[in-house]
Chain A
């Protein structure tokens, strides 16, 4: 096992250093970021290239984590959230992200909204029966809605009291970014799989031409992977988390909140996993499907993608 040294300025969150294991031409790199175990699997590269790849992957992921997390004070997202109604100039990367958020908001008829994070103040999904009062959520709805923002690239004006949160995009985006970088920098003939806590993408089949075998978590069991599938290219992403819900009078309130009502989406599945060409797209389709609630499967069938929906028995 080799530990890759990363300078402190590239590791502002002071994560443990990345570790590389493997041999010959097959490598497994691990690090932590975005509250997930992150790993890259490399096929057909020599040790030196594998170390280099892991170094880049960790550095880039930590950069994105620092930039897009809403918990890092002083980062661009924090500056926007602290702007108190003043216009903020954003860089190209953030601008692309805001454009994307705008398109997702429109395509989902307002169901996907990066300003919906404030609703968390009313909802604590701890498995208890504590539901908020309707007036509590209605009050918060005044602070929710992408259309309340003024986005004139490169200027974003966020009304006072509102917040934006890229939590629904960041991790999948990081997977794609890292994969794109590694595909560019690694020699011809190598193959890569990037997996951040179950959201993953690969450059193609393994160096030996075989598919990557990927586990799909069964959210009902909360155990290790229960189903495996072969991935020859593209990406998988999962939306949902069965550990977060409320239960009152036999009704299960999922943590998927509809930003238009302030209440959980009725009939939302436990989790949705989607296969798509990129992780970001897979994740967004999975999120859209969750927001459809009971209509998740029908929505996904119309999109013509491979998907797995977990619902509770009965």
Chain B
């Protein structure tokens, strides 16, 4: 005789037994396994203040991120970031033994740089608002997917992206395989329009306004777009109860307008090492500066390896190494180390990062008059942007966090960065100029989550 589901009292056994068990325990009947109550929003707020020395870039960045847990597995995350940047950033021109005058990106007005000073473009002000949303949910016991969208707006830049990823869990979730894809379209709308790459920066001196305006218009092209495709493949492996390891390979392809519309290069006279121009060319009498030009595609490959290890006492060591190589000729290495000291309700986490980068093939601190070639440059791409040069960065910092209770945490993070550039030291008069000033920056972040 079999027990079947068309039971006495018209109830299947399991259902009736569940009801009886609830009566015994004095609890509400549930049809499924215990699920989390739909949770509340978990909110993280942070304010980052970033400051480079020597009146360079200053930034303030408030962030608010909210995550809603629908049950243990399904999450919605919304994030809002606002940036305010002010200050000056290196334009790419070389310092000179003479004062220099540059046209502002908008074409209206100019700014002067004293002799021996690094040419910084101080017309640099920006406010960015970024919004992102992502949804994570399981497909079944072994698969989880994430879909998301991102958008950000600055007055000269609009960025949009959609992304998705799929994770597969293996051997009791000790191994996770993740594949992800992100597609983005950015619209670049620089102040005054995008300059034509490697065209000469028009200068107002010794010209009528009409002449200048005509010249300026001749160097402009319409705004431009770029598209980005990123793919990522990663493996996360639980090595043992205390060790977690992650290995990622990423490939990123961008195409379109990849040039920085505000960066320029100085043309240097081959013989003297002084700025080329003046009486050497035409009747203009001004030094020559060119707008930079970069390739219109870039393919990057990244390998990333991270290990987290928890010590007996609950402290956590976290180390990672990233290797990046791209078809612009840049290779970079990043080593990042953190150690988290656990105390009763707080933790202290010192942080160290070392970054090393080689220069791009088309990186030039300046172009010579020979390379300028009377306005038909001998190379199709050139940039003096220090971020594409050979550089070394050292970051030291620490984070201190305090947990009030299970939900609320306050943290303060302070970091100091010393970045040194290196490269061609110049010749003649240029050799006495500091072509590679260090970038020192510090930032402070205050975050609170509840």
Contact = CB atoms under 8 A, between A and B. Distances in A.
Given A24-B342, A99-B24, A284-B21, A189 B72 contact: no
A94 to B, nearest CB: 11
Contacts of B53: none
Interface centre among B12, B13, B21 (most CB of A within 10 A): B21
A303 B173 contact: no
A232 interface: yes
A173 interface: yes
A228 B22 CA distance: 28
Interface string A97-140: 10110011011110100000000000000000000000000000
Contact of B172 (A23, A209, A213, A234): A213
Contacts of A188: 406
B20 to A, nearest CB: 4
A299 interface: yes
Contact of A277 (B8, B34, B406): B34
Interface string B403-442: 0011100000000000000000000000000000000000
A295 interface: yes
A44 interface: yes
A144 interface: no
Given A211-B173, A233-B72, A280-B25, A107 B33 contact: no
A78 to B, nearest CB: 21
Interface string A264-293: 000000000001111011001100100010
A111 B17 CA distance: 14
B17 to A, nearest CB: 6
Interface string B394-409: 0000000000011100
B246 to A, nearest CB: 16
Chain A residues touching B, majority SS? mixed
With most chain A CB atoms within 10 A of its CB, the pick from B12, B20, B26 is B20
Interface in A222-255: 228-230, 232-234
Nearest to A230: B173
B65 to A, nearest CB: 16
Interface string A287-312: 01000100100110011110000000
Contacts of B344: 24
A180 interface: yes
A220 to B, nearest CB: 20
A96 B399 CA distance: 55
Contacts, number: 115
Contact of A180 (B4, B14, B21, B25): B25
Q: Is the interface of B mostly helix, strand, loop or mixed?
A: loop
A240 B180 CA distance: 45
Contacts of A109: 1, 3
A303 B406 contact: no
Give the most central of A180, A203, A277: most B CB within 10 Å.
Answer: A277
A211 B25 contact: no
Nearest to A234: B33
Nearest to B344: A24
Contact of A103 (B2, B20, B35, B406): B20
Contact of B17 (A233, A275, A281): A281
B72 A205 contact: yes
A299 B16 CA distance: 14
Contact of A190 (B4, B32, B313, B406): B406
A233 B35 contact: yes
Contacts of B25: 173, 176-177, 180, 278, 280
A159 interface: no
A188 B27 CA distance: 19
Nearest to B75: A209
B222 interface: no
Given A204-B34, A211-B72, A234-B33, A108 B3 contact: yes
Contact of B13 (A23, A177, A303): A303
Interface size class of B (residues with CB under 8 A): 35 or more
B123 to A, nearest CB: 47
A161 interface: no
A304 B18 CA distance: 12
A143 interface: no
A230 B17 contact: no
A187 interface: yes
Q: Which of B8, B24, B405 has the most CB of A within 10 A?
A: B24
Given A190-B406, A204-B34, A23 B17 contact: no
**Residue from B16, B72, B73 whose CB has the most chain A CB atoms within 10 Å:** B72
B106 to A, nearest CB: 50
B406 A97 contact: no
B110 interface: no
A202 to B, nearest CB: 8
B36 interface: yes
Nearest to A289: B3
A144 B7 CA distance: 24
A108 B314 CA distance: 49
Nearest to A44: B406
A34 interface: no
Interface string B62-102: 00000001001100000000000000000000000000000
B30 interface: yes
Nearest to B15: A303
Contacts of B34: 203-204, 233-234, 277
Contacts of A108: 3, 13
A284 B21 CA distance: 9
B23 interface: yes
B33 A104 contact: no
B5 interface: yes
Contact of A207 (B172, B173, B406): B406
A189 B30 contact: no
B245 to A, nearest CB: 17
Contacts of B33: 232-234, 275-277
Given A97-B24, A203-B34, A303-B13, 10 more contacts: A99-B23, A107-B16, A109-B1, A173-B24, A173-B25, A176-B25, A276-B18, A277-B32, A284-B17, A288-B17
29 contacts: A23-B314, A103-B20, A107-B17, A107-B20, A109-B3, A111-B3, A177-B25, A190-B406, A203-B34, A204-B34, A204-B72, A211-B173, A228-B172, A233-B35, A234-B33, A276-B33, A277-B30, A277-B32, A278-B21, A278-B27, A280-B21, A285-B14, A288-B13, A292-B3, A295-B3, A302-B5, A302-B13, A302-B14, A304-B14
Interface of A: 23-24, 44, 96-97, 99-100, 103-104, 106-109, 111, 173, 176-177, 180, 187-190, 203-205, 207, 209, 211, 213, 228-230, 232-234, 275-278, 280-281, 284-285, 288, 292, 295, 298-299, 302-305
Interface of B: 1-5, 7-8, 12-14, 16-18, 20-27, 30, 32-36, 69, 72-73, 172-173, 313-314, 342, 344, 405-407
